[in-house]
Amino acid sequence: MSENIEITSESQILPFYERPNVQMETLPIGNGIPFGIETVTNPKLGIGGVYAAWGESYDNRQLPELVSMRLGEPLPEDEIMNLSELGFHYRHHIPSLTDEEHLELELEVGTRLLREAARANGWSPSEVQGVLIGMSGPVSHDFVTQICQRAGISEDALKVSIHKACDGSMGALHLALNPALSPSGQLNIAEELRGKKVLVGGIEGLSRFVSRSRDKNALQLFGNGAGVIGIVPGETMKFLVGKSAENFDEDGLLEVRMYYPHSGRRVSGQSLVEVSQDAPAHIRVAGLMHEPEDGTPIVMAGLMGMVKLFVRTGVQVVADVYRDYQALMSQLGLDKSIDMGIVHHANYKINLLKAKQLLKEGIQFPMPWLLSDFGNVSAASNMIAFLRQIGNIKPGDHVLFDGFGAGTYYDVMAVSFG
């Protein structure tokens, strides 16, 4: 399933801010926050977008000092992770800020992402008719509404906030494309957005989110990142098959605090996801998490726990979608296969194991996943990975998107382009 991607040494990987097409500036918040953004377009597909990072860039040698500062004590030598073998060489962190500064920083970042993603598609922000953003721990409940307003997007544009941890942006894309996902009696998001100009992405201020954590793994793995693309559902990107799945994390292998409205209740036979409407044009899709008992943002059971959490169910969901895809191609009389897989960059070992397990099922296709100049950027990773591969995608190609996150949530879909 993979393309035999090798782990490269840190000296071979450019920091994100040093990439030739990244536009850099310093945001005037606190003592100044570095911000880099890269625009990518494929005119043949009619799709473009942007991805970004903010905060100082830390390589694997510098990171233990930052983690020690966050912990208020030295990070023990035997607890320093081998991040290179997990595919991570750099990640982006911000200094301590006030709550007001955190809010202003992420509103400014989100606003710029929406504005520049619209422009990457040749749209003015006022033309955008839908915005769907995945985020694990939003800085405010009305984050999407506020960044849309600041970016110049119409008050009437449909806005959807998706809180399903690392699966958030894929949950957003799936909602925008698959009309079967919307429950009866509620607005059918995919039908509402079909043929319209829509921005979809993930914006993750994870440095803020994990800064108050005591979990040494989380402090080393996660960092800031965001990616937003523009699509016209049913035209530039067409839904083929897909599946959304839930499997509650009973054991608390990845405990995550819900910084968003959710009742916190589990009802037998009902979805873990609650859909609410905060305003006439704002829908919230919020997933139940196994929250840390001590109230901290995140607690991880370790890397083997992550493997146990994501691989078994994740392989099954991808296999189900792949077989549905094969059945659809057979029904249409097409000799066509998946050209590429865009997979959440949890870490290299998790993804490699998923690829090996899928190969046992007879499922194999190119799966480029390494984003070595970012850490785990949760819901942003699929969008960044897609934008980095967009130049290799041709009209008529079929691509499989694979999202998975704490909770546990899975959104897998096959789409066609052009």
Contacts of 190 (CB under 8 A, 6+ apart): 175, 176, 177, 178, 179, 181, 182, 233, 239
5: pLDDT strictly greater than 70: no
In whole angstroms, what is the distance from residue 6 CA to residue 3 CA? 9
Least confident of 139-148, 294-303, 403-412: 294-303
2: pLDDT strictly greater than 60: no
* Confidence label for 401 from pLDDT (cuts 50, 70 and 90): very high
Residues 341 and 1 sit within 8 Å (Cβ to Cβ) = yes
Give the phi and the psi of residue 327 in degrees, each rounded to 5. -65, -40
277: pLDDT strictly greater than 80: yes
CA 305 to chain centre: 20
| Per-residue pLDDT at 9 | 44
11: pLDDT strictly greater than 60: no
The class level of CATH for 10-417 reads: alpha beta
pLDDT digits (tens, 9 = 90+) for 337-367: 999 999 999 999 999 999 999 999 999 999 9
| Per-residue pLDDT at 186 | 86
Residues 61 and 89 sit within 8 Å (Cβ to Cβ) = no
Residues 109 and 52 sit within 8 Å (Cβ to Cβ) = yes
Go through 272-289 and write b for each residue having 16 or more CB atoms within 10 A of its CB, e for each that does not. bbbbeeeeebbbbbbbbb
**Mean pLDDT computed over 359-388:** 95
How many H helices and E strands in the chain?
A: 10, 17
| Per-residue pLDDT at 369 | 85
**Mean pLDDT computed over 306-323:** 94
* Confidence label for 6 from pLDDT (cuts 50, 70 and 90): very low
Show me where the domains of the chain are located: 10-417
CA 286 to chain centre: 15
Question: What is the overall mean pLDDT for the chain?
Answer: 95
pLDDT digits (tens, 9 = 90+) for 162-211: 999 999 999 999 999 999 998 778 899 999 999 999 999 999 999 999 99
pLDDT digits (tens, 9 = 90+) for 96-122: 999 999 999 999 999 999 999 999 999
43: pLDDT strictly greater than 80: yes
In whole angstroms, what is the distance from residue 151 CA to residue 129 CA? 13
Residues above pLDDT 70, as percent of the chain: 97
Secondary structure class of 26 (helix, strand, coil): strand
In whole angstroms, what is the distance from residue 126 CA to residue 12 CA? 41
Question: Which residues lie across from 47 on neighbouring strands?
Answer: 42
| Per-residue pLDDT at 418 | 87
Residues above pLDDT 90, as percent of the chain: 92
| Per-residue pLDDT at 12 | 73
**Mean pLDDT computed over 377-398:** 98
| Per-residue pLDDT at 8 | 42
| Per-residue pLDDT at 185 | 80
| Per-residue pLDDT at 183 | 78
